[in-house]
Chain A
Amino acid sequence: ERSRRSFGQKLSSLFTNFTGVDDDFYDDLEETLIEADVGFDTALEISEEVRDEIEFEHVSDPDQISQLIVRRLVALYTRNGSAEDNHLVFSKEGPTVFLFVGVNGVGKTTSIGKMAARFKARGRKVLLAACDTFRAGAIQQLEEWGKRDGVDVVAGKEQSDPASVAFEAVKKAKAENYDLLLVDTAGRLQNKVNLMNELDKIKRVISREIPDAPQETLLVLDSTTGQNALTQAKAFLETTNVTGIILTKLDGTAKGGIVLAIRNQLHLAVKYVGLGETVDDLSPFNPEQYVSGLFKGLMED
């Protein structure tokens, strides 16, 4: 909320000196969008569309203009595949597997901890797999989340083969009738070929045991990340066929506007957002809310 207000305030300052829709206005609009990390091309595209609409409709009232901007942004977010929803896919029978992937430190392990609690509270039997055998303390971190959530964790030795941990976990999930298996993986930068191949191997091990699994491969993105998030999405989509995004750290001052470009170019939708470090800080993503949240202060003023 904090962040949104301050962003909204910035936006409304766009209107405090509002003297009409001139070139300065569109420059300001562009910069406001760039500041949210939507990227220059997207900012220009949106600004052009807004300009066309304002001219076509002869709008001059600041309130109407701000609403028009929000409508445009939501349209931009949803127009590429508005039919697809952001619900998670579960298997009809047997365990569902979600694989969590992403670069270092974005919030994969934490998001698993939050999601496990969420689905446990809905009566599902949840299992976690500690397939980050590489980073110092990674196994203990997931085990700590398991303890907090009261869910089981399958872990191997440090430095052991992550694919074999995944194998053990899937086997256990099948044998002991778990509903949901959440697989944590080590952070990896998308330009590291070996590490990306390792991820592919983990995924293949899972699919071999359960043909439809993983039902979701969730790419975790840090909202403070700039244009590189698009490169990340491209690379992870290619190697692991990502099915959705979890956008974390939205409780900060960053907006993660790059998800607009990701949605536009790769048709990948955000499914959940991370809003803090505690177990309750995970929410399903709502595009209207996200976009109009960016413009909140503006709408109210």
Chain B
Amino acid sequence: MAFEGLTERLQKTFTNLRKKGKVTEADLRDTMREIRLALLEADVNFKVVKQFVKTVRDQAIGSDILEGLNPAQQIVKLVNDELVKMMGEEDAPLNKSPKIPTIIMMAGLQGAGKTTTTGKLALKLKNEQKARPLLIAADVYRPAAIDQLVQVGQQIDVPVYEEGTDVSPVDIVRHGLAQAAENKNDYVFIDTAGRLQIDEKLMQELADIKALAQPNEILLVVDAMTGQNAVNTAEGFNEKLDITGVVLTKLDGDTRGGAALSIRSVTGKPIKFVGQGEKMEDLDVFHPDRMASRILGMGDMLTLIEKT
């Protein structure tokens, strides 16, 4: 299993600590090293790891943790608390416009899950708020991207605005918004084509769509399996678009998802939802505490603490 390494690793260090009953500087260094390793294995960006480990270390030294009865427990708790804190303690809801429609724009790298997430979010709003969303098909590049969104719309019984692939995305969005105004849709989703953050032309296209639509929410959709590169993507999209939130997809896999921490740390923007499968129902709100235990590979923090 993917998580075993870390749990065992920490347990071993902590067992050593417990035997001695007292923690020395050297022990602390070993522990920090294990934490560093664990976070790197979980794909947290190395710069973020460095900063994180320093913060935890300072706290560990600052408090009288070294004299404590069970220092291992305290360090685990410290690490976990700090992770939760960094990831944003509160669940972040979707922005809502004071007058309809609320406009939500999706952006991200190729294959991240934008189109699927568009459908999932629209369905969620429909179920929870009886919303009447419109989906705008602004990906004119990927083969059959429009077919995909149209089929997603059919699955959740939500209309899709499309003009084929011969019209520019900006124009499609303009016309789609007019259509939404006419139909009094309360939510509008703009599904955009996947692109690299270093593709200046396509990034400018997103900026143009933003300028036109003035979305209430710009969601960066990121694959939870992303490695060290997550910071480049997040920085690139955030600089160009000033995103308002993040959706982390494919968390139904066995990745530890350290990208969550990297993205949060470089953008400061909340992770709002997580994708948990391919079906339209598979979307959940983001829970920082669950993500923290996942990154640490401690699905069950309490079990670990009891063992130490």
Per-position contact with B for A30-50: 1 when CB-CB < 8 Å, else 0? Answer: 010011110110000000000
Binding stretch for chain B, among A17-25, A65-73, A246-254: A246-254
Whether A226 pairs with B225 at a CB distance below 8 angstroms is yes
Give the docked Cα–Cα distance between A144 and B41 (Å): 39
Interface residues of A in 222-257 (CB under 8 A from B): 222, 224-229, 231, 249, 251-255
Chain B interface main SS type:
loop
Whether B278 pairs with A141 at a CB distance below 8 angstroms is no
Give the docked Cα–Cα distance between A226 and B152 (Å): 29
- Which single member of B37, B112, B143, B198 contacts A113 (CB below 8 Å)? B143
Closest to A2 in B: B198
- Shortest Cβ distance from A106 into chain B, in angstroms? 6
Give the docked Cα–Cα distance between A134 and B279 (Å): 10
Whether A225 pairs with B226 at a CB distance below 8 angstroms is yes
B residues less than 8 Å from A35 (CB atoms)? 46, 228
Whether B253 pairs with A136 at a CB distance below 8 angstroms is no
Chain A interface main SS type:
loop
From A40, A113, A137, residue with most partner B Cβ within 10 Å: A137
Closest to B45 in A: A35
* B229 at the binding interface (Cβ < 8 Å): yes
- Which single member of A106, A191, A252 contacts B198 (CB below 8 Å)? A252
* A277 at the binding interface (Cβ < 8 Å): yes
B residues less than 8 Å from A145 (CB atoms)? 143
Give the docked Cα–Cα distance between A104 and B224 (Å): 12
Whether A105 pairs with B41 at a CB distance below 8 angstroms is no
Given contacts A105-B113, A225-B227, contact A148 B143 (CB under 8 A): yes
- Shortest Cβ distance from B282 into chain A, in angstroms? 12
Whether B151 pairs with A189 at a CB distance below 8 angstroms is no
* B26 at the binding interface (Cβ < 8 Å): no
* A135 at the binding interface (Cβ < 8 Å): yes
Whether A105 pairs with B226 at a CB distance below 8 angstroms is no
Given contacts A34-B46, A136-B155, A224-B227, contact A252 B144 (CB under 8 A): no
- Which single member of B2, B144, B152 contacts A141 (CB below 8 Å)? B144
- Shortest Cβ distance from B235 into chain A, in angstroms? 10
Give the docked Cα–Cα distance between A2 and B236 (Å): 15
Closest to A222 in B: B111
Closest to A44 in B: B37
Whether B227 pairs with A254 at a CB distance below 8 angstroms is yes
- Shortest Cβ distance from A164 into chain B, in angstroms? 21
Given contacts A113-B143, A227-B41, A253-B232, contact A191 B148 (CB under 8 A): no
- Which single member of A40, A104, A137, A144 contacts B111 (CB below 8 Å)? A104
Whether A105 pairs with B111 at a CB distance below 8 angstroms is yes
B residues less than 8 Å from A277 (CB atoms)? 110, 141-142
Whether A226 pairs with B228 at a CB distance below 8 angstroms is yes
B residues less than 8 Å from A136 (CB atoms)? 115, 119, 147-149, 151-152, 155
* A258 at the binding interface (Cβ < 8 Å): yes
* B301 at the binding interface (Cβ < 8 Å): no
Given contacts A31-B46, A228-B255, contact A253 B143 (CB under 8 A): no
Whether B229 pairs with A37 at a CB distance below 8 angstroms is yes
Per-position contact with B for A128-141: 1 when CB-CB < 8 Å, else 0? Answer: 00000011111011
Whether B109 pairs with A104 at a CB distance below 8 angstroms is no
B residues less than 8 Å from A182 (CB atoms)? none
- Shortest Cβ distance from B38 into chain A, in angstroms? 10
* A190 at the binding interface (Cβ < 8 Å): yes
Interface residues of A in 271-293 (CB under 8 A from B): 277
Give the docked Cα–Cα distance between A39 and B148 (Å): 35
Whether A228 pairs with B225 at a CB distance below 8 angstroms is yes
A-binding residues in B (CB < 8 A) = 2, 37, 40-43, 46, 109-113, 115, 119, 141-145, 147-152, 155, 196-198, 223, 225-230, 232-233, 250, 252-256, 258-259, 278
B-binding residues in A (CB < 8 A) = 2-3, 31, 34-37, 39-40, 103-107, 113, 134-138, 140-141, 143-145, 148, 189-192, 222, 224-229, 231, 249, 251-255, 258, 277
**Among all A-B residue pairs, the 10 with the closest Cβ atoms:** A226-B227, A137-B148, A105-B111, A226-B43, A144-B143, A136-B151, A254-B229, A140-B144, A141-B144, A37-B227
Pick 8 A–B contacts, CB within 8 A, sort by A. A34-B46, A104-B111, A136-B119, A136-B149, A137-B147, A140-B143, A225-B226, A226-B226
